[in-house]
């Protein structure tokens, strides 16, 4: 989700562990996930949960059978789903749409790391959208609200002792925050809806650097759009949000340019910041972003693709990760911390369907991204990733996916100097690697519409020691065995979506 969990020698207070309510919240979210899985199995078996977008003959036949009244008597769980859909249908007639999403990520490292173990990291996101044109006649206006509740223990922090997080949804303390609380407006200048803007409490992503495939993977090197971005800029990403805005110009249905600004707010990274704390007292500046792109979908392109090129200008002070104002090791010699302002960076992302045998959704797609920070005083110098995802695997498994991805992350010379210094303090040799590599392969099994179970394997080479900087030895390369469960409850229950 983001990189703010990594401890850095910045002025912002890092996340700290909060365990008082962790067991309760973990149990609650896991219970919701189990209940949803039970509902999915029962409803899917009874044929009472339709797919919003059938992608195989089996789905279409199931809907036809349901329409013909040839299903068995609905189970109590299926009846509950029917009631929920009925309520959401009534609300949708007035422009109100509900959303709910559960994400569970289990991981273990039987090989490598400082010690072996297993952890669970999970969150629930819930909220809705209000089409103001339907509700009150306000043309093109939409209100969005999403709350996220997270409870997690990270494998990388607790057992591996370092490396880019094996669970992308890990956050070092439990939280309940607004993921977004925004107003969106569509305007028509030269053609319909060619201008769109959104303002409010939000993160920089997913407005920028989007990818259709990156988050089919569990390691944060892949799922997080641009690894290193939040860490190097202090910009809030999920599960956090800050004040921000973005305006987009659609020159054609496929070509666009967009610009945005997001407040750099150290308060949003603090454990004691509560859900209704919208204060700007800790805001130190703004991250200005721009992006141009070309994107298509299955609705207007037989082989959908997206290409995006973006940059940012950070108008906010940032502490150097290693040096003082005299160019010395700040942690050894003290003095005044070297501060930077006006940092810039660039990124590029690409998604491309390269093979599609027929008009179904079965296809093979490749994706990738590159992130580069031009300032040597931050932690991450660049991050590269690339992968391939096949949708539609075995006969009758049109929704299943199989994917493979690899990443290459390079740390700045100052970050490596800091880590070497810390390792020497712990009695080690001070020879921390400047690069880290991640390999990941997984299989996504579509249990029901909106429910995916994804076994996962990762191999982490040169795990960086940022979680355990004084560990005296090189952290052994780690093999991670994982399992992801994602449940989109509104899709599972056949609830209408905004724009459907």
pLDDT at position 186 over 80: yes
φ, ψ of residue 186 to 5 degrees: the values are -100, 135
- Mean pLDDT taken over the chain: 86
Q: Which candidate, 261, 266, 382, places its Cα nearest to that of 314?
A: 261
Q: Please, where are the H alpha helices in 127-215?
A: 132-136, 155
Going along the chain from its start, the domains and CATH numbers come out as: 22-492 (2.40.160.180)
Confidence band, pLDDT 50/70/90 cuts, at residue 20: very low
Mean pLDDT of 446-474: 97
Rounded to whole angstroms, how far apart are CA atoms 452 and 449? 8
Question: What is residue 82's predicted lDDT score, i.e. its pLDDT?
Answer: 75
- The secondary structure of residue 476, as a DSSP letter, is P
pLDDT at position 48 over 70: no
Q: Which candidate, 441, 445, 446, places its Cα nearest to that of 403?
A: 441
Question: What is residue 79's predicted lDDT score, i.e. its pLDDT?
Answer: 63
pLDDT at position 484 over 60: yes
Rounded to whole angstroms, how far apart are CA atoms 83 and 76? 11
Question: What is residue 496's predicted lDDT score, i.e. its pLDDT?
Answer: 92
Rounded to whole angstroms, how far apart are CA atoms 459 and 442? 12
Question: What is residue 72's predicted lDDT score, i.e. its pLDDT?
Answer: 37
Kindly report the pTM of this predicted structure.
Answer: 0.85
Q: Which residue's entry shows tokens 């962790």?
A: 22
- If you write DSSP's letter for every residue of 427-453 in order, what string do you get? TS-----SEEEEEEEEEEEEEETTEEE
Question: What is residue 86's predicted lDDT score, i.e. its pLDDT?
Answer: 85
Q: Which residues pair with 288 in a beta bridge?
A: 261, 313
The neighbour count for residue 260, using CB atoms within 10 Å, is 24
Q: Which residue's entry shows tokens 């990818």?
A: 211
pLDDT 10s digits, 383-404? 999 999 999 999 999 999 999 9
Rounded to whole angstroms, how far apart are CA atoms 411 and 436? 8
Q: Which candidate, 410, 432, 408, 409, places its Cα nearest to that of 419?
A: 432
Confidence band, pLDDT 50/70/90 cuts, at residue 63: very low
Question: What is residue 468's predicted lDDT score, i.e. its pLDDT?
Answer: 96
Higher pLDDT, 25 or 92: 92
Question: What is residue 45's predicted lDDT score, i.e. its pLDDT?
Answer: 39
3-state SS class at 495: coil
Q: Which candidate, 11, 20, 42, 13, places its Cα nearest to that of 448?
A: 42
Mean pLDDT of 116-133: 97
HSE-CB at 271 with a 13 A cutoff on CA atoms is: 13
Name the least confident of 12-21, 79-88, 377-386, 423-432.
12-21
pLDDT 10s digits, 145-165? 999 999 999 999 999 999 999
Rounded to whole angstroms, how far apart are CA atoms 207 and 184? 12
pLDDT 10s digits, 160-180? 999 999 999 999 889 999 999
Q: Which candidate, 232, 212, 252, 223, places its Cα nearest to that of 377?
A: 232
pLDDT 10s digits, 321-336? 999 999 999 999 999 9
Residues belonging to the chain? 500
Tokens in use for 79? 């009846």
3-state SS class at 130: strand
Three-state SS annotation for 258-324: EEEEEEEEHHHHCCCCCCCCCCCCCEEEEEEEEEEEEECCCCCCCCCEEEEEEEEEEECCEEEEEEE
Mean pLDDT of 363-384: 96
> 463, exposed or middle or buried, with CB in 10 Å at 0-12, 13-18, 19+?
buried
Rounded to whole angstroms, how far apart are CA atoms 363 and 20? 46
Question: What is residue 85's predicted lDDT score, i.e. its pLDDT?
Answer: 76
pLDDT 10s digits, 66-112? 333 333 344 555 666 677 778 889 999 999 999 999 999 999 999 99
């Amino acid at each position: 989700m983001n990189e703010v969990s990594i401890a850095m020698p910045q002025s912002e207070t890092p996340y700290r562990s909060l365990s008082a309510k962790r067991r309760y919240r973990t149990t609650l979210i896991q219970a919701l996930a189990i209940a949803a899985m039970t509902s999915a199995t029962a409803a899917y078996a009874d044929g009472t949960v339709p797919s919003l977008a059938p992608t195989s003959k089996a789905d279409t036949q199931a809907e036809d059978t349901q329409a013909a009244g040839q299903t068995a008597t609905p189970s109590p769980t299926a009846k509950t789903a029917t009631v929920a859909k009925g309520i959401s249908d009534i609300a949708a007639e007035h422009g109100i749409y509900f959303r709910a999403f559960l994400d569970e990520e289990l991981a273990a490292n039987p090989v490598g790391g400082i010690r072996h173990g297993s952890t669970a990291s999970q969150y629930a996101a819930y909220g809705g959208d209000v089409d103001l044109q339907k509700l009150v006649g306000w043309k093109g206006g939409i209100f969005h609200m999403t709350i996220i509740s997270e409870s997690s223990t990270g494998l990388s922090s607790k057992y591996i002792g370092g490396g880019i997080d094996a669970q992308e949804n890990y956050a070092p303390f439990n939280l309940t925050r607004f993921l977004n609380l925004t107003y969106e407006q569509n305007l028509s200048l030269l053609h319909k809806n060619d201008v769109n803007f959104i303002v409010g409490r939000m993160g920089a992503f997913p407005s920028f650097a989007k990818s259709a495939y990156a988050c089919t993977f569990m390691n944060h090197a892949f799922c997080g759009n641009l690894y290193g971005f939040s860490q190097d800029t202090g910009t809030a990403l999920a599960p956090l949000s800050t004040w921000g805005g973005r305006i987009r110009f659609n020159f054609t249905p496929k070509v666009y340019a967009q610009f945005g600004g997001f407040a750099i707010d150290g308060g949003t990274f603090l454990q004691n910041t509560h859900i209704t704390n919208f204060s700007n007292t800790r805001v130190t500046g703004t991250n200005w972003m721009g992006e141009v792109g070309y994107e298509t979908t299955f609705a207007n392109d037989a082989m959908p693709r997206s290409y995006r090129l973006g940059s940012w200008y950070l108008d906010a002070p940032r502490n150097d990760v290693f040096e003082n104002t005299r160019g010395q090791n700040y942690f050894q010699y003290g003095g005044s911390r070297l501060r930077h302002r006006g940092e810039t960076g660039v990124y590029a992302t690409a998604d491309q369907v390269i093979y599609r045998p027929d008009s179904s959704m079965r296809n093979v797609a490749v994706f990738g991204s590159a992130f580069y920070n031009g300032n040597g005083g931050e932690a991450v110098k660049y991050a590269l990733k690339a992968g391939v995802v096949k949708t539609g695997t075995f006969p009758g498994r049109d929704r299943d996916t199989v994917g493979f991805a690899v990443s290459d992350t390079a740390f700045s010379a100052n970050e490596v100097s800091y880590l070497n210094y810390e390792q020497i303090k712990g009695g080690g040799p001070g020879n921390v690697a400047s690069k880290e590599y991640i390999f990941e392969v997984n299989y996504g099994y579509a249990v029901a519409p909106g429910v995916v179970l994804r076994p996962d394997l990762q191999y982490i080479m040169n795990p960086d020691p940022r979680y355990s900087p004084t560990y005296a030895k090189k952290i052994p390369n780690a093999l991670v065995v994982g399992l992801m469960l994602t449940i989109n409850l509104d899709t599972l229950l056949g609830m209408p979506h905004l724009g459907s």
